[in-house]
Each structure stands twice: as structure tokens, then as C-alpha cells.
Amino acid sequence: ICFLMTPVILIVSSFTSVMKPHNISCLLISLISAILGFLIYWHIGLLVNEITFFEFSVWALVVIKNGIINVFGGMLLPIWFLPDVIKEVLYFTPIPYLFQVPVDIYLGMYSGKEIVYLLLIQLIWVVSLYCLGRFIWNKGLDKILKRGV
């Protein structure tokens, strides 16, 4: 992913007025954070789709998930514009770690210790969502193998 994203970022930033990274280390660390954010996003999508083991259709849940992530994840509107109460609640969920945190790191909004803390939280979310996904996957397979449906 880094090898695919880096040329695109360099080309786009050279021809447009994309804000340059705070420094080169912010760029590299934000790429790591973006990869972790992608893994979190992928696992959230997997969890929602694993519900098909137990329900017939998850289309509505996928639409709701995408709406929540787009609005509260910093993709459409930076989280900075949200009220403080909502921001505090959001940072207890994986949602801001998908888009907002990698962008904030890119812009140099965090210091060294804060970056390490945020990357650790992203890693914890990846591992937690993976474990939850494995649990649901095993329950779903168990249901299919025992009942045939």
C-alpha cells in the first residue's frame, strides 16, 4: 500500500495545492498510520458483513456503517469541527483512527509521544477487531456446520 500511495501523493502534491507534510517523518509515520487505519476499516467492514451468518441481508447495516464512518471519521468533515462532547466519545471508538488521525499526523499536529500513543491505539484496534472477527467467524461456521444454515 505504501508503494502504491507514495507516488500518487508525490504526483498530486506537485501539481496541486495539497498541503505539504509538516516534515518527512510526519509523512512516513502518517503512511504507517494510514495502513493501520485501512486495516481497522477493513475489519469493521468484515464484522458488518459477518452478520450475514445470522441475518439474511446486511445492506442497510453497510449503508449505516458507511454513513457513520464518513461523517464522524473525518472523511467529509474534520473532527475538529464537532462539539467537544462528541469528539471525546468518538475517540473511544475506532472511527477517528481511520482517516482523521493519519491526516493529523501528516499535518504535524502531534508530538512524538502522542504519535506513539495514537499508533499504539490503532494497533490495539486492529488486534481487537481481528479477534472479534475471528470469534464471529467461528460462531458463524459453527452455525453452518451444525445446522446447515
As a three-state string, the secondary structure of the chain is CHHHHHHHHHHHHHHCCCCCCCCHHHHHHHHHHHHHHHHHHHHHHHHHHHHHHCCCCCHHHHHHHHHHHHHHCCCCCCHHHCCHHHHHHHCCCCHHHCCHHHHHHHCCCCCHHHHHHHHHHHHHHHHHHHHHHHHHHHHHHHHHHHHCC
pLDDT in tens, 72-87: 888 888 888 889 999 9
Place of cell 498530486: 12
% of the chain at pLDDT higher than 70:
86
For residue range 7-59, list pLDDT tens digits in order.
666 666 666 666 777 788 888 999 999 999 999 999 999 999 998 888 888 89
What pLDDT score does 53 carry? 84
Question: CA 137 to CA 143: how far, in whole Å?
Answer: 10
pLDDT-above-90 percentage for the chain:
55
pLDDT at 123 over 80: yes
Assigned C-alpha cell, 64: 449505516
